[in-house]
Amino acid sequence: MNINFKAKFINETSIKKYNYLKNSYEPTKVSFIEIDPENFSDYFAINEINQDWYNSLYASNITFALNLIKNQCLRGDIHKIYAITKQKNNFGILNSNEILALGEIERKTPEDIEINYLQVDPELVYSLEKRRFIDVGRAFLNCLKNFNYLKSITLNSNSSAAKFYEKNNFKLIDPEIRKFIWKKEIQK
């Protein structure tokens, strides 16, 4: 596979795509990438998503964080923006129409991160018809869980996403603020 990203390719992952002919969901490969705030293509794509994913507070907050990282108001070694995209090759220019999810991650310690914001394309979440793709948020979380250095992930959830995090092996540790944690199982 010849990957030529401006954004940093992390790994390939799998989600499910609806096959209208078979009336079923089938596995499809997507890419998990790290956005480069200094790259115009990446910066432009994320700002386009902020416009396209109308009324999405999280996408707006992720875009704001990207601007803070770009302007060195947030440390780029601590704050990272990641995405799930359908793009698989010819990545000279990041295509905003191919991005399915965005997340802003903050490294709390060398082994622990916090998800500040995670947003799946609202069209995929709130569609009244059969959703074109499913398991996008799960794939995003699994990619983070596979980081070699990582021992735990924390986040504060809104009430509508709490069950999603529980299904993905996050444990509620503070009900008042809906704080969740996932810990890597240590292999013995």
In the chain, the domains with their CATH numbers are: 8-183 (3.40.630.30)
**Percent over 90 (pLDDT), the chain:** 78
Contacts of 28 (CB under 8 A, 6+ apart): 14, 15, 16, 17, 133
- Mean pLDDT across the chain: 91
User: How do residues 33-75 score in pLDDT, each as one tens digit?
Assistant: 999 998 888 999 999 999 999 878 899 999 999 999 999 999 9
User: How do residues 64-82 score in pLDDT, each as one tens digit?
Assistant: 999 999 999 999 999 999 9
Whether 180 contacts 173, CB under 8 Å = yes
Q: Between 57-70 and 40-52, two packed helices, what is the crossing angle to 10 degrees?
A: 160
In this model, does residue 98 exceed pLDDT 80? yes
pTM for the predicted model, two decimal places: 0.92
Sheet holding 152-156, edge to edge: 133-134, 8-19, 24-34, 79-85, 99-109, 112-120, 152-156, 179-183, 171-174
